[in-house]
Amino acid sequence: MMGSGITGSVGSYGGSYYNSGYGLGGGSSEDGSVILKNPGESDVKSAGRKSSPAECETCKNRKYKDGSDEMVSFKSAAHIAPESAASAVRAHEQEHVSNAYKDAAMNNGKVLRASVSIHTAICPECGRSYVSGGTTSTQIKYYNEENPYQQDLKATDAQKYTGMNVDFSA
């Protein structure tokens, strides 16, 4: 079974993580107004949070990085906009599934199972829910025709199944 995946600022099985650090809210401009780091987000600060989603430094700087040993996207940390993170992570995890099918086809194997999990978390600074990463798990069965045990099993199966289905109507 293989585990691989991409993770954001919260780690998960199968991948490493990159944490850009947590900042303190948005700065202010010369006229005293607050600079929005995430335009279009709510500027309401929840109780117990350092900033609102619009001013959140952590969400602005969140980066995603793949921690597997496969050649796929996100090998170096990259920022993904929060609204497109789910589709980007899902597409990335699909790369791992495609690689599993290619590997099975090239090495006389069969993919028995491939599953993708998308993970979410809550930003500790602003309280917004975000896609924190994903995990791909695959199980591949490889056939080894040169193995003497495999050859013996095939010979035994041939003896067992010979004559099992006979058509007497002819």
Query: Would the pTM of this model clear 0.85, i.e. be above it?
Result: no
Place of tokens 């793949």: 66
Q: Tokens 């095939």 — which residue?
A: 154
Distance CA 42, CA 157 (A): 66
Q: In whole angstroms, how far apart are CA 130 and each of 3, 7, 58, 59, 90? A: 22, 12, 11, 9, 14
**pLDDT computed for residue 45 by the predictor:** 65
What would the pLDDT profile of 6-44 be if each residue is shown by its tens digit?
544 332 323 333 333 333 333 444 444 445 555 556 666
